[in-house]
């Protein structure tokens, strides 16, 4: 161990509410210095400062330019770091004030949600050896061009752990105004919450961003970094690491345990209750794991780990390299399976919440649904219902590859019903329209634009075809309604002074009738003027209906048709499809909690029905 071991302390906005709070931070730093330790203090902005700066940025428009926004928001941490350096100097403590750019803290990725990649560790060590303490602004670094790049909301946590890891610090503590991480907010009233003595990275992620920035937790888990959460200088804290999680022993527990030792016998051998699944917190934990179609590896691993800790027999089924479905069963063969998808459309949007909603990419499509299904399954198992399974697939937003691969799994045998989770506002879908994705391409003859008569424009030919398509009344069905056609993309040509020799468009039909009828009508309209390439087809499907549930018909498609071997399909879930894929995607908390009960009620009805069907 070096003569002067390094301690990294991160002071967040919960302990830096006003300028007067810097005195407490100075006292904590002094205690470590008196023990012969070096201290690197990472500071956040004062409470509310980032929100005020962000409001300043939005004063000039709803989508402020990222580079200027990053530069503006970084001033909150820079000012806070300077205040702490001044407070240390006033107390007679020599401390170096380090700018993230000056110590080579470089980043990669989007300017408002970047990741740290390197730091000049020697420069930091030299400053610490000279001064004993150093202060660095958290939350930001510099990109390859030297501009400001932020680590996202709560990014000072990531600064602290990254620097502790790269500098080989003996310990890293995220300093809070409480003695660690609790099962719920200690200031929220009601029963006094239990504090974790040990908290696994995975369980910390389930608690959402109220404790530690989720991106920081993913980094800590990947790099196997253990750290502490608690008051500065207090021996009581929560240690976050590989786990397992454990509660701190309350005062008097040893005496109570000694008194009750004689009667412990049978009770001590009982299986402890399964971990509680809080649906809103789990939704946020899932949302905070990026899982755009094609990049589902991390979220599959997270869900598999969670279900294993809940006592399921879990299998990761590879649908493509690095992309796995999650299949979970109990000791009993499942008769009812909850299913949904883990992938999202781009771009990744991290979670947030207010009193009424959880926000973020996948909040309603479909990570909130996954959370509600898992919570419902836990309730059913607690009642003694064992014939429940879970299936979470990849690639639903692209081509349903995950569902198609899952359909060949042996676990499907014996399943009577599959409840596919999609946003229906907690109504039971009686049917889902189909989907037909295809492209049209036209060919022309290239020529100089000054002599267009020497060529033939592929773009003009494509526009003629599209004009005819827009005039078509596509086939309808009394149950599903009217088939629709969306012209999604158009491309063609090489430059403005060349008559284009190629053009193409992508179309997406929502099918009210089988795809063959729509393709015939399309060919009649195109009349050979463009080539047609079909990419994906999902036929419209009638679904299982049950009395006692509000019903609807949804105009989108699901994985249900591709899970034909998993029993009769049903579709239900919280949220509205109108919020899906939007920048402000959200799901009402009330619907999330209600969905747990609806999934539970639906599964009970299906288990009863399957039991009746099994009678001779």
Residue 64 lies in a domain: yes
Residue 368 lies in a domain: yes
Mapping DSSP to helix (H, G, I), strand (E, B) and coil, where does residue 558 land? coil
Tell me: do 427 and 330 sit in the same domain.
yes
Structure confidence at residue 219 (pLDDT): 92
CATH number (domain holding residue 146): 3.40.1160.10
Q: Single out the residue of 283, 410, 277, 391 nearest to residue 336, CA to CA.
A: 391
What percentage of the chain carries pLDDT values higher than 70? Answer: 93
Tell me: do 57 and 119 sit in the same domain.
yes
The pLDDT of residue 439 is above 90: yes
Tell me: do 331 and 461 sit in the same domain.
no
Tell me: do 46 and 169 sit in the same domain.
yes
CATH number (domain holding residue 385): 3.40.630.10
How far is 60 from 81, CA to CA, in rounded Å? 27
Counting Cβ atoms within 10 Å, is residue 517 exposed (0-12), middle (13-18) or buried (19+)? middle
Structure confidence at residue 375 (pLDDT): 95
Structure confidence at residue 268 (pLDDT): 30
Give Cβ neighbours of residue 377 (< 8 Å, ≥ 6 apart): 338, 388, 390, 599, 603
Residue 590 lies in a domain: yes
Q: Which member of 77, 296, 396, 598 is catalytic?
A: 396
How far is 200 from 221, CA to CA, in rounded Å? 9
Residue 258 lies in a domain: no
User: Cα separations (Å) of 33 from 4, 8, 29, 94, 134?
Assistant: 9, 12, 6, 11, 11
Rg (CA), the chain: 29
Which residue, of 479, 505, 538, is where some domain finishes?
538
Task: For residue 415, name the pLDDT band (cuts at 50, 70, 90).
Answer: very high
Structure confidence at residue 276 (pLDDT): 54
Lowest mean pLDDT among 31-45, 199-213, 380-394: 199-213
Structure confidence at residue 249 (pLDDT): 52
Structure confidence at residue 274 (pLDDT): 38
Q: Say if residues 175 and 212 touch (Cβ distance below 8 Å).
A: no
Which residue, of 483, 511, 538, is where some domain finishes?
538
Task: For residue 253, name the pLDDT band (cuts at 50, 70, 90).
Answer: very low
Tell me: do 293 and 418 sit in the same domain.
yes
Tell me: do 12 and 149 sit in the same domain.
yes
Which residue, of 496, 512, 538, is where some domain finishes?
538
Tell me: do 354 and 224 sit in the same domain.
no
Residue 256 lies in a domain: no
Task: For 65-81, write each residue's pLDDT tens digit.
Answer: 999 999 999 999 999 99
Mean pLDDT of the chain: 89
User: Cα separations (Å) of 71 from 60, 140, 148, 325?
Assistant: 15, 9, 5, 41
Tell me: do 397 and 285 sit in the same domain.
yes
- How large is the angle between the packed helices 49-58 and 66-90, nearest 10 degrees? 150
Note the residue count of the chain.
616
Residue 449 lies in a domain: yes
Task: For 201-220, write each residue's pLDDT tens digit.
Answer: 988 888 876 678 889 999 99
Tell me phi and psi for residue 110, to 5 degrees. -60, 145
Tell me: do 395 and 412 sit in the same domain.
yes
Arithmetic mean of pLDDT, 510-515: 96
What percentage of the chain carries pLDDT values higher than 90? Answer: 70
Arithmetic mean of pLDDT, 479-487: 96
Q: What is the DSSP string of 67-136?
A: HHHHHHHHHHHHHHHHHHHHHHHHTT--EEEE-TTTTT-EEES-TTS-EEEE--HHHHHHHHHHHSEEEE
Tell me: do 490 and 408 sit in the same domain.
no
Structure confidence at residue 8 (pLDDT): 96
Task: For residue 189, name the pLDDT band (cuts at 50, 70, 90).
Answer: low
Tell me: do 145 and 107 sit in the same domain.
yes
Residue 262 lies in a domain: no
Residue 514 lies in a domain: yes
- How large is the angle between the packed helices 22-34 and 66-90, nearest 10 degrees? 60
In the residue annotation, 183 being an active-site residue is answered as: no
Q: Which domain holds residue 497?
A: 434-538
Tell me: do 59 and 100 sit in the same domain.
yes
- Please provide the distance, in angstroms rounded to a whole number, between the alpha carbons at the two ends of the chain: 74
Tell me phi and psi for residue 270, to 5 degrees. -70, 145
Domain tally for the chain?
4
């Amino acid at each position: 161990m070096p003569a002067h071991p390094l301690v990294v302390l991160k002071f967040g906005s919960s302990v830096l509410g006003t300028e007067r709070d810097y005195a407490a931070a100075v006292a904590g730093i002094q205690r470590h210095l008196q023990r012969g330790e070096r201290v690197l203090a990472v500071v956040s902005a004062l409470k509310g400062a980032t929100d005020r700066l962000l409001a300043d940025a939005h004063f000039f428009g709803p989508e402020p330019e990222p580079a200027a926004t990053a530069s503006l928001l970084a001033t909150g941490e820079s000012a806070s770091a300077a205040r702490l350096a001044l407070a240390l100097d006033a107390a007679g403590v020599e401390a170096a004030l380090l700018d993230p750019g000056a110590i080579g803290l470089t980043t990669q990725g989007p300017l408002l949600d970047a990741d740290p990649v390197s730091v000049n560790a020697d420069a930091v060590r030299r400053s610490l050896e000279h001064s004993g303490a150093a202060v660095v602004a958290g939350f930001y670094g510099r990109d390859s061009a030297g501009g400001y790049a932020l680590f996202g909301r709560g990014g000072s946590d990531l600064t602290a752990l990254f620097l502790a890891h790269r500098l080989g610090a003996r310990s890293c503590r995220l300093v809070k105004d409480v003695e660690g991480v609790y099962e719920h907010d200690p200031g929220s009233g009601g029963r006094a919450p239990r504090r974790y003595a040990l908290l696994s990275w995975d369980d910390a992620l389930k608690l959402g961003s109220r404790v530690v920035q989720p991106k920081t937790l993913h980094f800590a888990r990947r790099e196997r970094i253990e750290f502490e959460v608690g008051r500065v200088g207090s021996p009581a804290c929560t240690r976050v690491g590989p786990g397992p999680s454990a509660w701190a022993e309350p005062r008097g527990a040893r005496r109570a345990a000694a008194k009750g030792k004689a009667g412990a016998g049978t009770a001590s051998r009982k299986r402890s209750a399964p971990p509680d699944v809080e649906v809103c917190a789990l939704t946020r934990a899932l949302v905070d794991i990026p899982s755009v179609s094609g990049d589902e590896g991390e979220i599959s691993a997270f869900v598999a780990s969670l279900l294993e800790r809940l006592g399921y027999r879990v299998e990761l089924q590879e649908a493509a390299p690095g992309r796995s479905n999650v299949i979970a069963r109990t000791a009993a063969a499942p008769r009812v399976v909850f299913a949904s998808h883990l992938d999202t459309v781009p771009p990744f949007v991290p979670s947030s919440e207010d009193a009424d909603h959880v926000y973020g990419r996948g909040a309603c499509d479909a990570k909130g649904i996954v959370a509600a299904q898992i919570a419902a399954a836990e309730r059913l198992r607690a009642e003694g219902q064992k014939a429940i399974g879970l299936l979470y697939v990849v690639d639903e937003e692209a081509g349903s590859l995950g569902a198609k691969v899952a359909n060949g799994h042996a676990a499907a045998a014996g399943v009577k019903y599959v409840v596919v989770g999609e946003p229906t506002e907690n109504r039971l879908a009686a049917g889902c329209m189909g989907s037909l994705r295809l492209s049209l391409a036209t060919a022309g003859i290239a020529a100089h634009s000054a002599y267009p008569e020497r060529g033939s424009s592929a773009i003009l030919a494509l526009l003629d075809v599209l004009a005819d398509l827009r005039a078509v009344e596509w086939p309808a069905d009394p149950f599903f309604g009217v088939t629709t056609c969306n012209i999604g993309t158009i491309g063609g040509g090489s430059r403005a002074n060349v008559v284009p020799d190629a053009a193409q468009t992508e179309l997406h039909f929502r099918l009210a009738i089988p795809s063959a009828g729509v393709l015939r009508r399309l060919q009649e309209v195109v009349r050979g003027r463009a080539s047609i390439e079909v990419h994906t087809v999902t036929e419209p499907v009638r679904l299982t209906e049950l009395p006692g549930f509000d019903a609807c018909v949804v105009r989108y498609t699901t994985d249900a048709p591709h899970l034909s071997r998993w029993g009769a399909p049903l579709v239900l879930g919280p949220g509205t499809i109108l919020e899906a894929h939007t920048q402000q995607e959200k799901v009402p908390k009330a619907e999330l909690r209600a969905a747990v009960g609806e999934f539970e009620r639906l599964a009970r009805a299906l288990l009863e029905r399957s039991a009746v069907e099994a009678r001779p």
